[in-house]
Every structure is written in C-alpha cells, then in structure tokens.
Amino acid sequence: MTAALDLDVRSQFPQLVDSPGVAYLDSAATAQKPQAVLDAVMTYLTSENANVARGTYPWANRTTTRIGQAGDQLRRFLDDPSPETSGVHFVSGTSEGLRTVALDWLPTVLRDGDEIIVPFADHSANLVPWLDAAELLRRQGTHVVVRPMPYDSAQDYDVARLPVGPRTRLIAATHVHHVYGNDMNVHRLRAAAGPDIPICLDAAQSFGHLPLSVRDLDVDFVVFSGHKAMALPGIGAVWARNRRGPTFAPAGWSGTPNTAGIVSLAAAMDWLSSVGLSRISSSIVALGARLTAGLATLRSYEVLGCQDSLTAESTVQRRHGIVTFRHREIGSNDLGFILAAEGLLVRADGHCQGTDGEKTSSVRVSLHVYNTAEEVDRLLATLSALDS
C-alpha cells in the first residue's frame, strides 16, 4: 500500500479545524479554503475594494493592477511558454469557460463539413456546449460533424482510435475524470492528434491538484474553476494559447469582473505553490491508492472506472484521488447518509456525467491535500463494517 504523505495543512483550513470529527471527502465538488485565501479576500474587501479600469484614484488603480497581475500569475502557474501572446479570460468557472470557448471561439473557426471530437463520457459541462455550438451552426446552414472520442467499457479513452482527419478543427478532452479520477495522458492525445489541431482541456479536476504545464502538454485551451482549487466560488478562467487558428477573443471584456474572486484565485495559486503542486499531487494519488487497495479487500464494493494497473499503451495514466464505488446491496444514497452520520462527507448518487459511462448511482470519494491517511482508514473501517 502506498504511504500517504500526510502533508500537515489541515490546521490552515478553518472550516475543517472547526469540525474535528469531520472528514471532508468531497473536494471534487468543491474544495475547502485555507486561511490565507480568506485573509486575502477580507483584506481586499475591507481596504481596497473598487471597480476595475474605471478610476482616477488609488483603490481603482490598485484593483486594475491586481487583475492584470492575477492574469500574469496564472500564466506562470500554467508554465505558459508564450505569455506575451496567450489570453486569459476570467469567467465564473469551468461550465461558463467551456461554453465561452464553444460559443465565442469555435464558430469562428468552423466551416461546412468540419469536424470536432468531444468526450461523451465526461462531465456534461464538457459536452453540452460543443453540441450546442454544432446545433447553432447547423441552424445557420453550417454542418459540423461531431465525433465522439472513442471510449471502451473499461472507462478508458482509446486514442489509438482517435478519429482525426483533415477536417478536424478541435479536440475537447478532460484532464482528470470527475467520476473515475482517470488522469488523461495528454501527451498521447497530442501525439495522436498531430501538431496542428487545437486541444481544449477541461482542467476542473486537475488545476490546483497536480503540476499543469501547458508548455509540456502542448494544449491550446485550459479551462478551470477556482472553487475546486481553494479560491472562492464564482471565479475561473480560460487560458488560450492563440497559436493554432484564429485568436480567442471572447465577447464580454467590459463589465465588472469578479474582483474579489480574482483576488482569491491569486491567493489560492500562491498557497498551492507554497505547498508545491508535486507534493499535493503525490499526496492525493497516495491517498486514493490507499482507498482503492482497502476497497479491494472488501467483497461488497465495486470500484468504477479503469484500474491503476494500466499499460504503456493506455491513454489513462492513473487514478488521481477520486474513487467512485457501489455497495452491492446498499443503495448509494443510503450509503451517503450512513457515511455522513459518521462525519464522512462524500458525494452520493449521480455525477453530472455525459451520455456514455456508468449511469447508475454511486458514491464518490474525492481527496485533496488536507485529507489524511487516518481519514481514509476511518472511511475504510466504516465501509468494512457494512461488508458482508
């Protein structure tokens, strides 16, 4: 069993400190907030609050500067190789970000007969906007072919069968799957796609969980939600490389941005960097492995998704701190309530999944850096008492 690192950061999360008996195991839904993020927001709102790019006075200028700096900080955080030409567009989160790419950018590159490849087994936020864009274009007389990313019953995307052709204009992919925790091998995806097709990465479950280098991954869009990465709800971003095809220039740059949210995102990136993304990732993976190893010893549970022992040919690298399972007899909703009564807070039932994949209800455990091996063991002990 892999040893968890047990980074001792729990004491920096006030909500967790206030609830010592609680194991928060639902970070894929939203993450808890460290004191540093709360402090940054409070300081901003009590001493510098003003609108952006409007003022002739210090608060407004300071807010404008902060927003520009947050964009630059995000580029560094993503290891952006060309910060002078990339675009950062702040949005409310992944759902809005993916819709913005799909509806503001995609129609500007698609012509009649063009093709896009989209993941049908992922979060609906990374499926519906692409289908909507295609439908919108169809009504205007432009027929776009939507091809599903090939997928097999082991919940693995099969890039060897990626339907790339001369008319493919976009591949939408998900970095870490929100139900199975599979970590998409973006290198293999890029290799299968070839050098010229833009890849849009839904990084909702990877941003702030693992080192994410756009230089290394060679993707064109990264879309994420701040709230899953310890910032406030209501802030996220689209990072766009602007290298393949027309520039991403979304409408809506005017208007008041979520200034406090952007401040929280900047503070969250500082906090995550100070702990270290590699350490965070190792800890999350180790805790997930501890849980799957424990579940494998219990007869009543079935873990969903592909397993960790994957071949070099696979698209999927490993399970990244998200473990979803079912009890063979107890309904998942009931199991969720039983666990909650023990202070074990998980997600139960359905998971906003697209059209493929497991439709039946299940229990999802999702881990972050404040979780500990002791919490995973407590969960396993409770699950074990329900084993038959």
Footprint on this chain of ligand PMP (rule: CB under 6 A): 28, 93-95, 123, 125-126, 174, 178, 202, 204-205, 225
Continuous segment of H or E residues that includes residue 32:
none
Q: Which is nearer to ligand PMP, 123 or 241 (CB)?
A: 123
What is the spatial distance between Cα 358 and Cα 369, in angstroms, rounded to a whole number? Answer: 28
Residue 312's alpha-carbon distances to 155, 219, 295, 308, in angstroms, are 16, 21, 25, 12
* Side chain identity at residue 19, one-letter code: S
Give me the least distance between CB of 175 and ligand PMP, in Å please: 8
Q: Which is nearer to ligand PMP, 353 or 372 (CB)?
A: 353
Q: Which is nearer to ligand PMP, 342 or 349 (CB)?
A: 349
Give me the least distance between CB of 237 and ligand PMP, in Å please: 12
Q: Which is nearer to ligand PMP, 75 or 123 (CB)?
A: 123
Give me the least distance between CB of 319 and ligand PMP, in Å please: 14
What is the spatial distance between Cα 198 and Cα 82, in angstroms, rounded to a whole number? Answer: 16
Judged on CB neighbours under 10 Å (0-12, 13-18, 19+), 11 is exposed
Please check whether residue 324 is in contact with residue 177, taking contact to mean a CB–CB distance below 8 angstroms.
no
Give me the least distance between CB of 328 and ligand PMP, in Å please: 26
Please check whether residue 110 is in contact with residue 137, taking contact to mean a CB–CB distance below 8 angstroms.
yes
What is the spatial distance between Cα 71 and Cα 182, in angstroms, rounded to a whole number? Answer: 29
Q: Which two tokens stand for residue 93?
A: 């989160």
Give me the least distance between CB of 92 and ligand PMP, in Å please: 7
Give me the least distance between CB of 224 and ligand PMP, in Å please: 8
Q: Which is nearer to ligand PMP, 328 or 359 (CB)?
A: 359
Please check whether residue 226 is in contact with residue 263, taking contact to mean a CB–CB distance below 8 angstroms.
no
Please check whether residue 360 is in contact with residue 326, taking contact to mean a CB–CB distance below 8 angstroms.
yes
Q: Which is nearer to ligand PMP, 88 or 373 (CB)?
A: 88
Q: Which two tokens stand for residue 303?
A: 């873990």
Give me the least distance between CB of 350 and ligand PMP, in Å please: 12
Give me the least distance between CB of 166 and ligand PMP, in Å please: 29
Q: Which two tokens stand for residue 150?
A: 């090939």
Q: Which two tokens stand for residue 15?
A: 């909500």
Give me the least distance between CB of 99 and ligand PMP, in Å please: 9
Q: How many CB atoms lie within 10 A of CB 181?
A: 29
CA neighbor of 70 nearest in space, from 312, 263, 224: 263
DSSP strand pairing (23-24 vs 344-345)? parallel
Q: Which is nearer to ligand PMP, 93 or 294 (CB)?
A: 93
Please check whether residue 81 is in contact with residue 216, taking contact to mean a CB–CB distance below 8 angstroms.
no
Q: Which is nearer to ligand PMP, 26 or 80 (CB)?
A: 26
Give me the least distance between CB of 304 and ligand PMP, in Å please: 15
Q: Which is nearer to ligand PMP, 265 or 383 (CB)?
A: 265
Q: Which is nearer to ligand PMP, 225 or 259 (CB)?
A: 225
Residue 292: partners with Cβ closer than 8 Å, 6 or more residues away: 303, 307, 308, 319, 323
Residue 169: partners with Cβ closer than 8 Å, 6 or more residues away: 106, 109, 110, 114, 115, 116, 197, 198, 245
